[in-house]
Chains A and B, each alone.
Chain A
Amino acid sequence: MCDLKRTLDATGHCVLEMPSGTGKTVSLLSLIVSYQQFYPTRRKLIYCSRTVPEIEKALAELKRLMAYRLSCVETDEERQKEQSFYGIGLTSRKNLCIHPEVSKEKKGVVVDARCRDLTNAAVCERGRQDPGSVDLCDWHENLGKLEPGNLIPPGIWTLADVLQYGRDNKICPYFLPGQMPFVDVIIYSFHYLLDPKVAEQVSKEMSKDAIVVFDEAHNIDNVCIESLSIDLTRPMLDSAARSVGRLGDKIDEIKKTDASKLQDEYAKLVEGLQEAADNEDAFMSNPVLPEDLLKEAIPGNIRKAEHFVAFLKRFVEYLKTRMRVLHVVAETPLSFLQHLKDITYIERRPLRFCAERLQSLVRTLELSRLDEFSALQKVATFATLVSTYEKGFLLILEPFETDNATVPNPIFHFTCLDPSIAIKPVFERFSTVVITSGTISPLDMYPKMLQFTPVVQETYSMTLTRNSFLPLVITRGSDQVAISSRFEVRNDPAVVRNFGSILIEYSKIVPDGVVAFFPSYLYMESIVAAWNDMGILNEVWKHKLIFVETPDANETSIALENYRRACDNGRGAVLLSVARGKVSEGIDFDHNYGRAVIMFGVPYQYTESRILKARLEYLRDAYRIRESEFLGFDAMRNAAQCVGRVLRGKTDWGLMVFADKRFARADKRAKLPRWINQYITETASNLSTDMALTLSKLFMRTISQNPNENQTGISLWTLEDVEKAQAKQKELALQAQQEQRDAAMDEEDEYGDGGIDDSMLPDLDV
C-alpha cells in the first residue's frame, strides 16, 4: 500500500504482484478511494479487470468499502462527500439490455444492432415527431425524459444493481451510465481502454490525471495484441462483397429520393473527419488514427459515396484473389501495400480512411440491422490498420487449417506482434498506471514487453500462520513412468493412464471440489475420450460427479453452477477445464469449490502456430527476449494462474498438483510467483503419484484442524501491531508523513513485506 501511495504521488507507473486471495482488490480500492476523497482534485479511477464476473466482484467490493467508509464518518460534511461518491461498471448492451425482445437475442452483435435500430438519433427523431411510425425502445425513451445528470442517485452501482434499477424505473441500464456527468470510479474490461475501436468512444473524455489500474493483468500483453489483430476468412469476404453490393443499391435509391443528403455528407467530408464524427451512436470507430490525420480532409477519390463503394469493391476483390494462393505467405504491411498498389492502384492514403468513411456513409444512409454488415466492417478496419502501421505487424496467409488438411480454408491473419503499440496511448495519456495481478512473475518481463519504465516494481509474498496450501510436483506415476504432456508422449497410454490415476486417487481423498486443468482443448477432449474408454472416468464417477468445460460459454456456466451446487451439497465434483480457457479466467475456486487443483501438463502454447512463431521472432529481434524464455514464462504464468485460483483468504486451503516431469526443473519453478515457489520443498518437487498422495493426506489431516488458533501477530495484524511496525519504519526512514492515515484506515490489511516480527512479545510490555 505504501508502494502504491508512492506511485500515486510520483505520478508514474507501477507493477505489483500480490498473492491471489489476499484482498488485493479491496486494498487497492481502499487506498485509492481515500486518496481521491482526501485531495480536492478527485482524480478519477479507471479500474480495468478482465472478465465480467471480476468486474462485478470489484464493484461489489467497492460498494461494501463505501458502506464501511460511510459508517466511519464523523462530520456531516464528510458524510456528504462519501455519499456523493459515484462508482459504476460498464459492459455491453447484451449484458444490460432489458428490452423484452432484444434481450432474448443470443449474439452480442445482434443485440447491438437491434438496439441501435431502436435508439439511434435519427430514428428517435422520427419516432418522437410521429409516435407509432417506428419502433422505439421505451426504456431508452424514458431515459431521455429524465433530466440528464440526475438519472441515478449517487452511490456504487454494480451491474446487477443497475439492471434492477432499470427494471424498477423502466429506464435503460445501458445508456444510464453514459449520461452521467461525473463518475469517481469506473470499472470495465481491458478492452474498453486498450482496443482502439472501443476506447475511442468509451474512454475519450477521461481526464489525464486519472488513475488507471489493470487488475489481473498477467495476460495484458495478449489483450493488447488481440485488440490490434484481425482475421479475414473466405466467407467473411463473400459477405463483405454482398454488403458492398447492398450499399451500392442503397446509394442509388437514396440518390433518387433524397440526393441532398449525400451532398451534405460530401460537404462535411471536405471539411474534415472530425466534424462528421458524432459520438452518440457511432457504428464503429477509428482504430487509432493520429490526431493530425483526423483533422485532414478525406481524400478526394473516396469522398463521393459511389466512388467509395467502388473502391471497397475493388479492395475486397483483391483480397479474394490473394486467398486463392495455396501456399503460406507471410509479409509485412509495407510489401502488402506495395503489391496492392501494383495490382489495383489503390493508394495507401485512402485506405487509411476506409473505416472512418464507411462509418460516415452508414450513418448517412441510415441503415438498419448493422450486424449484417459486420464483415464489411472488419474489412474496413483491416484496411485502416494495415495502412497505418508499418512496424510490429505481420500478415500471414494460411491456406490450410492444419498441415495435413487437403481442403483449403484460407485465413488471412493480420497480426500484431508488439503489445506495446496498443498500450502506448494509455501510458502516454494517463499519469498513473498500476498493473497488478497475483501472478506476474518475473516482474521485469512486463515493462520490457510493454515498453514502459515503472516507478515501483514489487512482489509481495504471502505471510501465513500455517501453510495453507501444498504445492506438489508429480513427475512420474506409481509405476515410475515419467509423465509429461510433451507432444511426443502425451498420447502414450501409460501417460494417459497415469494422469487418470492421479485424478482417481485425488477424487478419492479430496473432499468437495477438485479442478483439473489441461494444456489445451484438443488435449482435454482427446484425453476425456480416452479415459472414458479406459474406464477411468467410471472410477471417478464412483466418488464424484464430473463436469467438463464445453465450447459454449453459457453451457459451461451452467455446468459450473451445477459444479458449485455439488460442492456445496457435499457430493463433491470434478471439473475438467482448460488452462487459458474460459473457466481459468476469472472464476475463483475458493474454499470448498476447489480443495485441489491438478495441472495436467505444462500449458505451453502451440508452438507450431505461425502467429506465435512470428511473435517469438519479433520479441527476440526487438526486445532480446529469447523464444524459450518467453514460452516458459508464458506457460508458467498460466499454470500459476490456474492453481492460484484455489486460495482465497487465509482460512482457505487447497492442494496444488503440478503433474508433469518438466515442472521439476528449477528454471521452470523459478518462473512461478514467489508466494507459490517458496512453499515447494525439495522433496515435494519430484514425486511419484503414491508419494504425493501420502503427502496430500498428511497435509489434509493437519490443515483440517482448527484454523483459528491465534492468527493475530503473524499474518493478521491488529492496530497496535501496525502502529508498531510503522514506528519502526519511521525510525528507519523519516519520510512517512501520511502513513498514519493510511494505516488507521486499513488496519485490516497486511503489509506482507516480510516483516514478521514476533509482535506478541513486545506486547507484554515488561
Chain B
Amino acid sequence: MDAGREERPHNIDFILQALFCSKEGAAQVRLKIGLVNDDAGHNFTFTSPQAVALVEREKFKQELTNIISRNRSVAPTPAPLRPSVTPGTSVPPSNAPTPRIQQLARPSMSRAQSVASDSRRSGTPSDPTGDYRLRKRVLLSNAELAGLHKELVIGGQITEAEFWEGREHLIAAQAASENQRKGKSGQLVDPRPTTVDGETKIVVTPQLVHDIFEEYPIVEKAYNDNVPKKLSEGEFWKRYFQSKLFNAHRASIRSSAAQHVVKDDPIFDKYLEKDDDELEPRRIRDEGVDLFIDLGATHVDHGETGNLKDVTMQAGKQKAVLPLIRKFNEHSGRLLNTTLGEPSSKRRKLNSAEDERYAQIDIEDLRDNETSTSILLNMQDRERYFEGRSAEVGPAAPKVDIRAAIREAKVSLHDWQGNLVRLKMEKKAADSAVLAMTQNVAARLDVRMRTSELPNSRVYASRLSHLFAIADDIPENIFRQMTTCQTAANEFLRQFWLSIYPPPHEAQLSSVTTPAQKAAKATKMIGYLERTHERVEAIVRSAQMEGVDSSRIQVAMKPILDSVDKALAFWKARSSNPNPRGAR
C-alpha cells in the first residue's frame, strides 16, 4: 500500500501502545503498530521504492512515537477501554488505508486530577446514571444483579429507571473507576540484554529510546550532539550499550564488575560523570525542608561528640551501592514531579500557615468533642426532609418513657439468678429451638448477602447457599425458586420503601420523582408484594410434591414474608389515614 497516498479521515477508537520497525536494509520496509487491546497489532508495509519508503516510514515513526509516549503517560487502564459497542466505531482491518490516529487520551488533563478520580470533578459531561454503557458494565461485572435485572426489568415488572433508582452509587463507582487513569509505571529503565545464539542483543524500540532520554538527559544530549553527523542511529545505540556510560546507568552494582570488559569509547566517555559515591551527594540541592522533617538540622544542632560509629553503622561504607541508592531516590522523585509538579519553593514552606503546622502535631482523638452534652442532629436538607415527612409518614411510634422502660426491665430482671437456676430445658425441644434459630439466622444472612451489593457478597452468598442446600436437602430447583422469590420480593420491598421515604441525599436528584409518581409506584409495588404470599405458597406446595419438609421452606421464607406483611400493614394504615402529619 502506498503510504504517500492521500489520507482519508477515519475515526478510529483505539490506542496506540507500541511501535516496531523492520530493520534497516531489510527486504521490506514495514511498520508495526501494537494496540492496547489487541496484541497482534497491525502491520503496514511501505510499497514505495525503498529509499522513499524509508523516509516516509521515518516520518510516520516520528509522529507515532510522540503519540505513543503521550498515550503512555496518560493512558487509561487497559481494561475499561471504550467498548466497541459504541455505534460508529470500527476497527480497521490491517490493510485499511493509513489511519489517522485519533487521540483518545486527553493529554491536557493533569495527572493529579486523574488520581483524584472523582467522576464529577474530572468533568464527565453527562450524568453517569443515565449512561447505558455504564449500566451494562455494572451488570456485566455483577452476575447477581444481572439476574435480578433480567427477571424484573426484562420480565417487564419494573422499568429500567426504577431498577436503577437507589443503585446510583454503583454506576458512579463504575464511572469513577473508568475515569481513573493509570500513572506512569514506576519501574526503572533498565534494558536487559537477551542472548540469542551466543550473541547478546538489546532490542531498541522507539519507546525504549523515549524512556532512556527521559531518564538520562545526558544520553539525549549525546544523541543530539552525535546523531546523525558523527554516528548513525544504529551505530549510536550500539556504542552506547557497550560504553561505560551505559554501565553507569544500569541499575546494578554488578556492572562495576563488568567494567573491565567494557571498551573505552572516546565519544561516550566524554559524557561519563564521576560515580556519585561520596558520602555527600555530588549534586547538592539547596532546597529548604520543612523543619519537622529536617534531619540535617539535628546533625548540626550540636557539636560532634562521641566515638566513631562501629563499622556496620557507618553509612555509605559500600561505595558501589550509593549511586544505586541515589538513583532510586532520584527516580522516585522524578516520577513524583511528573505527577505533582515541582515541590513548592522554600519561602512558602517556611511561611506555611500556622494551621498546617498544627495539623501535623494534632492528634484527632485528643480533641475535646465540643462542650455540648447532646449531639446535634446534623442533617442535610433539613427542610426538605420535614416537608417530605409531613406528607407521607404514618402514625408516629408510641412514645416510650425510657425511665419507665428501664424500671420495668429492672423489675423483670429482678431475681434473675434464681430464675436462671430454675430454668430447665428439655433436651429435644432445646435442640429443635436452637436448630430453628440457626436456620433463621442463616436465612437472614442469606437475604442480607443477596441484597447487599458488595462485590464479595455474591461469592459468600453462593457458598452459603450451597451449604444451605446441602444441609437442608432441599432440591436445587426448589432452592432456586426460593432464592429468586426472595430476591424479587426484596427488590419490590426496596422499591416500595424507596417510594415512601424521601431520597437520602441530594446526589440522587437525578431520579427525583413527583409525589404522584411515587404514590403510583408504591401502589404498583404493593400489588406485587401482595402476591408474594401466593408465590411462597406455590413454592411450599411444589416442595411438598418433591417430598421436602414444607415447614423448612416456611421457616426460611418467614423473614421475607414478615417484612412484606409489615409493608402491607403500613400501606393499609396509610391509605386509611392519608395525611396524618398534615392534619396535625
Interface on A for B, CB 8 Å cutoff?
Answer: 21-23, 26, 50-53, 56-57, 60-61, 64, 91-92, 94-95, 106-109, 111, 158-160, 163-164, 189, 191-192, 195, 197-198, 225-227, 229-231, 401-402, 411, 413, 415, 519-523, 525-526, 528-529, 532-533, 537-538, 541-566, 569-571, 573, 578, 580-583, 585-587, 605-606, 608-609, 611-612, 648-651, 711-712, 715-716, 718, 747-749, 764, 766
Contacts and interface: CB of A to CB of B under 8 A. Distances in A.
Given A189-B301, A570-B115, A550 B315 contact: yes
Interface string B308-324: 10111111111011101
B328 A92 contact: no
Given A95-B297, A520-B313, A532-B251, A558 B332 contact: no
Interface string B254-277: 100000000000000000000000
B363 A23 contact: yes
Contacts of B298: 50-53, 189, 553, 582, 585-586
A571 B324 contact: no
14 contacts: A108-B303, A526-B318, A542-B186, A545-B336, A550-B315, A550-B316, A553-B296, A557-B289, A563-B332, A569-B336, A569-B340, A571-B336, A606-B312, A764-B406
Given A546-B328, A611-B307, A561 B289 contact: yes
Contact of B311 (A50, A92, A522, A533): A522
B306 interface: yes
Contacts of A163: 350
A402 B318 CA distance: 14
B256 to A, nearest CB: 10
A553 to B, nearest CB: 4
Given A94-B300, A649-B363, A712 B295 contact: no
A586 to B, nearest CB: 7
A135 B407 CA distance: 87
B62 to A, nearest CB: 30
A94 B306 CA distance: 20
B306 A227 contact: yes
A79 to B, nearest CB: 21
Contact of A562 (B279, B329, B406): B329
Contacts of B300: 92, 94-95, 107-108, 111
Nearest to B302: A191
Task: For the complex of A and B, list the 9 residue pairs with the smallest distance between their C-beta atoms, beginning with the closest.
Answer: A226-B306, A108-B300, A551-B315, A551-B316, A52-B297, A649-B363, A520-B312, A545-B332, A609-B310
Contact of B335 (A91, A538, A545, A611): A545
B183 A571 contact: yes
Nearest to A570: B115
Interface in B334-368: 335-336, 339-340, 343, 350-351, 357-358, 360-361, 363-368
B253 interface: yes
Contacts of B308: 231, 411, 413
B343 A561 contact: yes
Nearest to B351: A164
A413 B307 contact: yes
A191 B298 CA distance: 11
A532 B253 contact: yes
Nearest to B369: A712
A69 to B, nearest CB: 14
A546 B251 CA distance: 13
Given A533-B254, A553-B296, A569-B339, A95 B301 contact: yes
Contacts of B433: none
A649 B295 contact: no
Given A52-B301, A586-B298, A552 B292 contact: no
A748 to B, nearest CB: 5
B525 to A, nearest CB: 32
A53 B292 contact: yes
Given A402-B311, A570-B115, 14 more contacts: A22-B363, A26-B363, A159-B291, A160-B291, A195-B303, A226-B306, A415-B307, A522-B318, A529-B253, A529-B320, A550-B329, A555-B280, A605-B310, A766-B406
A591 to B, nearest CB: 9
Contacts of A611: 307, 310
B294 interface: yes
Contacts of A192: 302
Contacts of B365: 649-651, 711, 715-716
Contact of B336 (A108, A402, A565): A565
A284 B407 CA distance: 78
Nearest to B321: A525
B295 A582 contact: yes
B296 A557 contact: yes
B33 to A, nearest CB: 26
Nearest to B291: A56
A229 B307 contact: yes
B382 interface: no
B333 interface: yes
Contacts of A61: 361
B325 A528 contact: yes
B310 A553 contact: no
Given A95-B297, A551-B315, A749-B366, A542 B322 contact: no
Contact of A560 (B280, B293, B305, B322): B293
B311 to A, nearest CB: 6
Contacts of B115: 569-571
